[in-house]
Amino acid sequence: MTLPLLAQDHTAFNKPWPAFKIMGNVYYVGTDDLGSFLIATPQGNILINSDFDDTVPQIRDSVEKLGFKFTDTKILLGSHAHGDHMDGDARVKELTGAQVMVMEQDIPAISRMTPGGKPHPIDRVLHDGDEVKLGATTLVAHLTPGHTKGCTTWTLKVQDGGKTYNVVILGSIGVNPGYILVGNKDYPQIADDYVRGFKTLRSLPCDVFLGSHARFYNMHEKYEQMAKVGANGPNPFIDPAGYKAHLDLQEKNFRATLEEQQKAAK
Ligand SMILES: [Zn+2]
């Protein structure tokens, strides 16, 4: 999502959600809808999405409720240069010293995100296909542009119950209300970028579908289902069909919006 610059009340965004283990070494530490993930390794942890600056204390509490130290966060990654996912980077860096890594195409937008006047930290510039390694865990950064120029989808392999699963953490491929797909002066290649984004996303093997908003992958329902079936039941987060359905829905919306704007531009 994108927000008006002056929107300060994040109560709805910061509505709490219990921290929980999704699978293997992947944990949910976000809010009711803002997706933040902790990837735990014996060499320290990776956090994906700091959310808003004022969400960070909640994320820290979630990490610590799971039994991890927030100060063991070694690497901070993000979904894309919108405030609801990466505004809190400076505060996480302050509290943990984590290395902040940002996709190159998102750097101009991310550099303008300075809550409380704090400059946005960037310790490593990422490029499409780059790997981020910690302990035995490797994450791959996939450039899936459109929603922002450097929108990033993360993939990793997770071991659970003797099996290996492909996890996809979608950056977002949604066309927000008000997005200009035709004749966009700030982002002339936006429509082509969405096409590229969809193509890349459809090429990624996906068993476990996660993303920067809980609603993308029906997290609430899956969480309830998980509580119902227990630790030995089938993990509801294994949902390749849900991944495909989400891409289909978003692509349909993209095509319809593009067609509408192309007609209006004639
Ligand atoms: Zn967004």
Nearest CA to 38 out of 20, 17, 15 is that of 20
Q: How far is the CA of 43 from the centre of ligand 1 (A)?
A: 31
Q: How far is the CA of 84 from the centre of ligand 1 (A)?
A: 7
Q: What is the pTM of this model?
A: 0.95
As a whole number of Å, the CA-based R_g of the chain is 18
Nearest CA to 152 out of 134, 192, 121, 125 is that of 125
pLDDT tens for residues 140-158? 999 999 999 999 999 999 9
Give the mean pLDDT of 3-30. 86
Residue 101 pLDDT: 98
> For the chain, what is the mean pLDDT?
95
More confident residue, 72 or 161: 72
Q: How far is the CA of 107 from the centre of ligand 1 (A)?
A: 15
Q: How far is the CA of 1 from the centre of ligand 1 (A)?
A: 4
Q: How far is the CA of 231 from the centre of ligand 1 (A)?
A: 33
Nearest CA to 239 out of 138, 168, 144 is that of 168
CA dist 84 → 55, 75, 91, 258 (Å): 9, 19, 14, 25
Is the pLDDT at 5 greater than 70, yes or no?
no
Residue 233 pLDDT: 83
Q: How far is the CA of 3 from the centre of ligand 1 (A)?
A: 9
pLDDT tens for residues 156-180? 999 998 999 999 999 999 999 999 9
Sheet holding 44-48, edge to edge: 20-23, 26-28, 37-41, 44-48, 73-77, 99-103, 124-126
Q: How far is the CA of 204 from the centre of ligand 1 (A)?
A: 21
Q: Which residues surround ligand 1, an ion (CB under 5 A)?
A: 1, 82
Q: How far is the CA of 237 from the centre of ligand 1 (A)?
A: 22
pLDDT tens for residues 188-228? 999 999 999 999 999 999 999 999 999 999 999 999 999 99
Distance, first Cα to last Cα, the chain: 29
- DSSP-derived letter for residue 23 is E
Return the axis-axis angle of helices 56-65 and 89-96, rounded to nearest 10°. Answer: 50
Question: pLDDT confidence of 232, banded at 50, 70, 90?
Answer: confident
Q: How far is the CA of 79 from the centre of ligand 1 (A)?
A: 8
Give the mean pLDDT of 250-266. 96
Task: For the beta carbon of residue 238, count every other beta carbon within 10 angstroms.
Answer: 18
Q: How far is the CA of 183 from the centre of ligand 1 (A)?
A: 20
Residue 100 pLDDT: 98
Q: Are strands 20-23 and 37-41 parallel, antiparallel or unpaired?
A: unpaired
Is 145 within 8 Å of 158 (Cβ atoms)? no
Q: How far is the CA of 157 from the centre of ligand 1 (A)?
A: 25
Q: Return d(Cα 254, Cα 263) in angstroms, integer.
A: 14
> Which tokens hold the place of 57?
């204390």
Residue 266 pLDDT: 84
Q: How far is the CA of 82 from the centre of ligand 1 (A)?
A: 5
Is the pLDDT at 238 greater than 60, yes or no?
yes
Residue 230 pLDDT: 80
